[in-house]
Structure 1
Amino acid sequence: MKLWQKDKAALAAVEKFTVGKDQEMDTYLAPFDVLGSLAHIAMLQSINLLEKDELTILQQELKNIYKEIQSGDFKLEEGVEDIHSQVELLLTRRLGEVGKKIHSGRSRNDQVLVDLKLFLRHELEVLVGEVKALFDLLQQQSEAYKNHLLPGYTHLQIAMPSSFGLWFGAYAESLVDDLVVLQGAYKTVNKNPLGSAAGYGSSFPLNRTMTTQLLGFEDLNYNVVYAQMGRGKTEKIVAFALAGIAATLSKMAMDACMFMNQNFGFISFPDELTTGSSIMPHKKILMFGN
């Protein structure tokens, strides 16, 4: 029985199409689903929809599930539709009917939205750290090679004297602009949709400010209709920001391919970072392109 199922089952073909690879992808959302539930039940208790002892045992079991996820002992069981259903199933199996109370005032719609936003926020924070490390390296190389001459090209024709330092620094500055765009995406991600339910809010007096604070969101999606209307919009904005970083790296990689070409010969790569050719033993191919 699905959380949404009534008296009739959906056609198997329809269910297969709509579910897709949810089970596979939901494993990425598992820890964030638990965090969202912890915040939600704390709020439910504050408005007297949970007893204190119920909150205590739910918190403890959710933390146990979180530890199982972190240790790799958690999985979505066969026939369980999504991460929300799996967590609720485990709580109900271990604690009885009180496990079902975590769904009070929530819909799978706002659950998946908050899971995705928490996941994206975490991934963006990791990515920024990695881009910062590359930026620092490029700046370091820019300073180290500022006096190492390199021909400046226009349309693949030699134009003016330049330096490797200037080349490294160009890509460092490009990443700065990319991070400005990523910061805008982060601001969109960092808004709390929890409490919007299926797009029309809840009849319960939910304290959305409390869950916003507990989950570390900067703000909330105030309009509950927009919270659901924006489904997919956040991902699109993040994808656009990621494309900017990818474009910078792609252009730098193309420069590297060209500069190590025999017709230029400005740089070389260690053999272990390259591949060869089955018919041309002199050929040296970078692993990110041929």
Structure 2
Amino acid sequence: MKLWEKGFSTDAKIDQFTVGSDRELDLVIAPYDVKASIAHAQMLGKVGLITSEEAIALEEGLNDIGKQIEEGNFTIEDNFEDVHSKIEYLLTEKLGDTGKKIHAARSRNDQVLVAMHLYLKNELAEISEEIQVLFDLLLSLADRYKASLLPGYTHLQIAMPSSFGLWFSAYAESLIDDLYFVNAAHYITDQNPLGSAAGYGSSFPIDRAYTTEALGFSTLKYNVVAAQMSRGKAEKSTAIALSSVAATLGKLAMDICLYMSQNFDFITFPNELTTGSSIMPHKKNPDVFELIRGKCNKIQGVPNQLALLTTNLPSGYHRELQLTKEIIVPAIQELKACIEMTTFSLKNIIIKEHILEDTKYDYLFSVDTLNDLVLSGVPFRDAYKQMGEAIENGSFVPKRTIKHTHIGSIGNLCLNDIKSKMDLLRMMMRKK
């Protein structure tokens, strides 16, 4: 069944090519299509396009379909083009002519649009919650290990003293930046496109304000052409948010892979969170974090994929827009899995204490030793030269007393300030 059928069939190859993976992907948005259809049916009854009895019957029928979806008993067989045609078929099978009335005053275009907006809005909210859980964990780890020193690197060469507290809280604060992107994507998806039909509105006296409130959108896309143009844009905005989160997780995963290696040996995890080798019995591989790194690298390419797909399309609907689902849906699922596994694993991280007591890290203290000379009255450039000569001739003696007191340094992590920044963002998000 196709919503656009006019009494003739398309070639099987054309059908297979044009439908693509829509049936599988539509199972993801099926609950949202039901929700939007319920609001649409209620609106049709409110404005008198159908009777109140028909509106009630449609709502009851859609609720039954919603239960099938929730229980995992809903399928989209090959003879249906997509979720929309299957739902309309089930309604018609149960309600007869009343079922056929559900499509009045809407197009499959705004059906997809509103279902995707609802789906993206919900997924962004879930991702936001998961990020906040990870943030809280990182901040608690930062507080627990704030006094445990760690080598800092530039160019992968030992540079200056750092700490596990500085490392954990760096990623916590970076997640706040990522949440700004998630929040921005939420505002873009939190606009109701239903009622734009094929992108040019309808001659029916529909009530778009009603469906906006019924579906829990904070506002609507007023201009019907602008509503149609949000297809692809909402996905791309979401992808940019996903990419930002993925960049943070990918960098953290890379640090963990380095720090777990024997050459660094800063951290480890319980055996059950690592994998072994088929021939090397000593191996404890960070496969989880390697996969997080790889998956997050893929996710960072999603905005570009969507940009390439939608660039240079004029206003109005084009079939390429169907392909946005097969890019954005798997990316969302992958990112959520990466956040979940990062949080799960970090709860069990084991850090090594007294790392900097190893003499190979003596030069980490060269800058602090140099700064002490400056504080004693030696001009910086002279102190720098003196320190360089001492390092070169082997007479350098590190001063291991760390006195970093400025905001955001080893000795002043400002964890409460970072938490306050997140609390402010949380308050803003609750007001949405």
Task: Show structure 1 runs of 4+ deviating over 4 A.
Answer: none
Give the match's secondary structure for 1:231: helix
In the alignment, the residues of structure 2 paired with residue 6 and residue 52 of structure 1 have an alpha-carbon distance, to the nearest angstrom, of 29
Residue 345 (structure 2) aligns with: none
Alpha-carbon distance, 1:40 to partner: 0.5
In the alignment, the residues of structure 2 paired with residue 111 and residue 57 of structure 1 have an alpha-carbon distance, to the nearest angstrom, of 20
Give the match's secondary structure for 2:168: helix
1:72 pairs with 2:67? no
1:133 pairs with 2:133? yes
Matches within 5 A, 1:14-163: 14-163=14-163
| Structure whose CA Rg is larger | 2
Alpha-carbon distance, 1:182 to partner: 0.9
Alpha-carbon distance, 1:229 to partner: 2.3
Q: Report the residue type matching 1:28 in the other structure.
A: V
Give structure 2 stretches of 5+ with no counterpart. Answer: 292-432
- Scaled by the length of structure 1, the TM-score of the pair is 0.97
Alpha-carbon distance, 1:278 to partner: 2.5
With 229-238 and 110-119 compared, the bigger mean Cα shift is at 229-238
Alpha-carbon distance, 1:62 to partner: 1.1
- What per-residue deviation string (whole Å, max 9, x for no partner) do you get for residues 32-60 of structure 1? 11100110111111110111111111111
Q: Report the residue type matching 2:58 in the other structure.
A: L
Give the match's secondary structure for 2:205: coil
Q: Report the residue type matching 2:268 in the other structure.
A: S
Give the match's secondary structure for 1:174: helix
Cα RMSD of the aligned pairs, angstroms, is 1.3
Give the match's secondary structure for 2:74: coil
Alpha-carbon distance, 1:76 to partner: 1.4
Residue 188 (structure 2) aligns with: 188
Residue 245 (structure 1) aligns with: 245
Give the match's secondary structure for 2:237: helix
Q: Is the 8 A contact 2:193 2:221 kept in 1?
A: yes
Q: Report the residue type matching 1:81 in the other structure.
A: E
Aligned residues: 290
Q: Report the residue type matching 2:6 in the other structure.
A: K
Residue 165 (structure 1) aligns with: 165
Q: Report the residue type matching 1:148 in the other structure.
A: S
Residue 258 (structure 1) aligns with: 258
In the alignment, the residues of structure 2 paired with residue 96 and residue 10 of structure 1 have an alpha-carbon distance, to the nearest angstrom, of 26
In the alignment, the residues of structure 2 paired with residue 70 and residue 278 of structure 1 have an alpha-carbon distance, to the nearest angstrom, of 42
Alpha-carbon distance, 1:7 to partner: 4.3
In the alignment, the residues of structure 1 paired with residue 200 and residue 6 of structure 2 have an alpha-carbon distance, to the nearest angstrom, of 21
Give the match's secondary structure for 2:263: coil
Residue 6 (structure 2) aligns with: 6
- What per-residue deviation string (whole Å, max 9, x for no partner) do you get for residues 188-215 of structure 1? 1111110000011000011111101100
In the alignment, the residues of structure 1 paired with residue 134 and residue 48 of structure 2 have an alpha-carbon distance, to the nearest angstrom, of 50
In the alignment, the residues of structure 2 paired with residue 232 and residue 14 of structure 1 have an alpha-carbon distance, to the nearest angstrom, of 24
In the alignment, the residues of structure 1 paired with residue 2 and residue 162 of structure 2 have an alpha-carbon distance, to the nearest angstrom, of 64
- What per-residue deviation string (whole Å, max 9, x for no partner) do you get for residues 155-182 of structure 1? 1112111110110000001110001011
In the alignment, the residues of structure 1 paired with residue 280 and residue 75 of structure 2 have an alpha-carbon distance, to the nearest angstrom, of 48
In the alignment, the residues of structure 1 paired with residue 158 and residue 266 of structure 2 have an alpha-carbon distance, to the nearest angstrom, of 14
Give the match's secondary structure for 1:131: helix
- Scaled by the length of structure 2, the TM-score of the pair is 0.65
With 220-229 and 84-93 compared, the bigger mean Cα shift is at 220-229
With 124-133 and 225-234 compared, the bigger mean Cα shift is at 225-234
Residue 225 (structure 2) aligns with: 225
Give structure 1 stretches of 5+ with no counterpart. Answer: none
In the alignment, the residues of structure 1 paired with residue 14 and residue 86 of structure 2 have an alpha-carbon distance, to the nearest angstrom, of 21
Give the match's secondary structure for 1:232: helix
Alpha-carbon distance, 1:5 to partner: 2.1
In the alignment, the residues of structure 2 paired with residue 10 and residue 192 of structure 1 have an alpha-carbon distance, to the nearest angstrom, of 33
In the alignment, the residues of structure 2 paired with residue 21 and residue 49 of structure 1 have an alpha-carbon distance, to the nearest angstrom, of 34
Q: Give aligned-pair identity as a percent.
A: 57
In the alignment, the residues of structure 1 paired with residue 56 and residue 214 of structure 2 have an alpha-carbon distance, to the nearest angstrom, of 17
1:287 pairs with 2:290? no
In the alignment, the residues of structure 2 paired with residue 99 and residue 3 of structure 1 have an alpha-carbon distance, to the nearest angstrom, of 13
Q: Report the residue type matching 2:206 in the other structure.
A: L
In the alignment, the residues of structure 2 paired with residue 94 and residue 228 of structure 1 have an alpha-carbon distance, to the nearest angstrom, of 32
- What per-residue deviation string (whole Å, max 9, x for no partner) do you get for residues 213-236 of structure 1? 100011111111122223212111
- What per-residue deviation string (whole Å, max 9, x for no partner) do you get for residues 245-271 of structure 1? 111111001101111111111111111
